[in-house]
Structure 1
């Protein structure tokens, strides 16, 4: 019998890649979408005949209980979140409600549907396994570099603080109630399906400049460094984390950092342009949300899961530029490229 997975945030970057990957492993995939969402116009539009969708929201506990009860999943992947860090300063309460309290509501939904209604005790929550998408942003003003699973959280934004709360709750439910809960502490990961953050802002601008739609690109900090990886690789780590005999948290990242300048240089070179002719830089409004140097120590993921990235930083940047160039030139399939279902590594 096929395994069943429930994915919150299935219409997002990570959710769409994970859905493809699990379908390639013969999973029955269920996805939670809000009442406002139009899945056919989203990143999973090409999967509509292969996934089962349920309406619900991390801010509504009853909808989560109903979704878990309907799907009866073996695995729950909580990928839904308010994902833009600077926006969390403008909507701090919403960030806390979705990224923090939303985790609590999903964990409680699993408890209720699994039948643990009595006093806390290990081993009483059935066979459902839970994956929480934690974030390197919770390290913020990091106490050490690189960061590993026991690096203390020191967030610098409402987004990071809410993610830290969800991360700690996930560990509490594992340690106190005996639930199989895992946090994947995700460092920056990008793809052609990413909403515009720094990386996608660059790839879109390069494509537009190449096609003559704009001339300049302004960036706040060219020297800012990040541990960037490919989202299609990272969903494999999510799945592997739930296949282990015992639950544990995992840092998921490449262990290598690159500057925004590195990304700009590679992106413009991909279309045969000199970035220095088109890029300006200087402090911007997002400066308050900037974290210190974040670099992953993913030794546990490599040793216990056998996980390693397959796409290099250079390949990732070129992939994103190529996809945006084709999409802006009218190739409708560009946004769904590349498909990751069935990849192993």
Structure 2
């Protein structure tokens, strides 16, 4: 494949969990990937360092400094790259933090998508656009949730994602853009941030097992979620942009598990009783809780041929094993053997 024939993709949020897995997938398919990262005083590229440093016949991963709060920079970059596909994964993505920083969350998670869409429109770019929507948009609406379920967000993060969802749909209908929303339910991996509850749990299991931690402090243990495996979910993202027609999809396992269940799967994997180590801390409660999110991904299965394979028990084992292994290597943020072939 020549450079001229090669597909080019822009990935915002390239240093995040999903961004790193998606970049691996795209590179494995022969893409040239342009990742957008925020300029900061410290580097936060550990999830993609193995891709940046990997020997290649020709360099196919390019990193650019850009921010979703800077529309003019987005116009300049997209115009110079001329991507065939744009994946918008960047966001202030922590639900609990969004209550503390609602304005920033709205600016990045909400308006950021509009700046990207408007840049594509202004340039007249012939590209396909993926918007990372979230099950948090459903909030208080009872499960199961699918593409026709009404939204009822219960956090600034969820509200910002609803805004981005409708703007993506609006640009698709108003300007004929190939723009899709992937409504992804919770998806985790060894690359999940350490402040997210699943990774907080599996990391604690590893540290307790090694005698480096005594207790784990959590908030509401009764929340029910539909947890999947991030490497599988980025495959769904890619498939959405390969489909003939742009439309919106729920991506989920369809299986429910509470935080108590995830605790049990994680601790029992190493022969520990979670109730001996977990303590309640009201600081981790949200001002408004989301009780249950369980997705119906029938549409994705029918139109994309996609369905989840890794369910919560196996996911917990994968993450616990990775965190145990990471403790053996000083300074390692994660150990992850998941790769695409």
TM-score, normalised with respect to structure 2: 0.93
Residue number in structure 2 paired with 1:234: 233
Paired residue for 1:54, among 58, 61, 64? 64
Deviation at 1:67, TM superposition (A): 1.7
Equivalent pair of 2:36/2:65 in contact (CA under 8 Å): yes
Deviation at 1:42, TM superposition (A): 2.2
Cα gap change, 1:220/1:81 in structure 2, threshold over 3 Å: closer, same or farther? same
Residue number in structure 1 paired with 2:88: 78
Residue number in structure 1 paired with 2:56: none
1:109 and 2:119 aligned? yes
Deviation at 1:214, TM superposition (A): 1.3
Q: Unpaired runs of 5+ in structure 1?
A: 115-125
Cα gap change, 1:107/1:18 in structure 2, threshold over 3 Å: closer, same or farther? same
Deviations along 1:78-114, whole A, 9 cap, x unmatched? 0000011111111111000001100000001111222
Deviations along 1:157-181, whole A, 9 cap, x unmatched? 1111000000000000111110000
Q: Which secondary structure state, in structure 1, belongs to the residue aligned with residue 108 of structure 2?
A: helix
1:221 and 2:220 aligned? yes
Paired residue for 2:179, among 167, 178, 181? 181
- Return the alpha-carbon distance in structure 2 between the equivalents of residues 319 and 55 of structure 1: 33
Residue number in structure 1 paired with 2:105: 95
Equivalent pair of 1:237/1:307 in contact (CA under 8 Å): yes
Deviation at 1:285, TM superposition (A): 3.9
Deviation at 1:340, TM superposition (A): 2.8
Deviation at 1:282, TM superposition (A): 6.0
- Return the alpha-carbon distance in structure 2 between the equivalents of residues 168 and 285 of structure 1: 30
Residue number in structure 2 paired with 1:34: 38
Residue number in structure 2 paired with 1:17: 21
**Greater Cα shift, 300-309 or 62-71:** 62-71
- Return the alpha-carbon distance in structure 2 between the equivalents of residues 170 and 110 of structure 1: 12
Deviation at 1:216, TM superposition (A): 1.5
RMSD: 1.6
Residue number in structure 2 paired with 1:132: 131
Cα gap change, 1:30/1:289 in structure 2, threshold over 3 Å: closer, same or farther? farther
Equivalent pair of 2:255/2:311 in contact (CA under 8 Å): no
- Return the alpha-carbon distance in structure 2 between the equivalents of residues 330 and 65 of structure 1: 42
Q: Which secondary structure state, in structure 2, belongs to the residue aligned with residue 99 of structure 1?
A: helix
- Return the alpha-carbon distance in structure 2 between the equivalents of residues 85 and 296 of structure 1: 18
- Return the alpha-carbon distance in structure 1 between the equivalents of residues 31 and 179 of structure 2: 20
Residue number in structure 2 paired with 1:190: 188
1:169 and 2:170 aligned? no
Q: Which secondary structure state, in structure 2, belongs to the residue aligned with residue 87 of structure 1?
A: helix
Q: Which secondary structure state, in structure 2, belongs to the residue aligned with residue 335 of structure 1?
A: coil
Cα gap change, 1:314/1:22 in structure 2, threshold over 3 Å: closer, same or farther? same
- Return the alpha-carbon distance in structure 2 between the equivalents of residues 41 and 247 of structure 1: 32
- Return the alpha-carbon distance in structure 2 between the equivalents of residues 16 and 250 of structure 1: 21
Paired residue for 1:2, among 3, 6, 23? 6
- Return the alpha-carbon distance in structure 2 between the equivalents of residues 158 and 303 of structure 1: 32
Deviation at 1:262, TM superposition (A): 1.1
Q: Unpaired runs of 5+ in structure 2?
A: 54-59
Equivalent pair of 1:17/1:232 in contact (CA under 8 Å): yes
Cα gap change, 1:289/1:81 in structure 2, threshold over 3 Å: closer, same or farther? farther
**Greater Cα shift, 183-192 or 216-225:** 216-225
Q: Which secondary structure state, in structure 1, belongs to the residue aligned with residue 287 of structure 2?
A: helix
1:68 and 2:66 aligned? no
1:322 and 2:321 aligned? yes
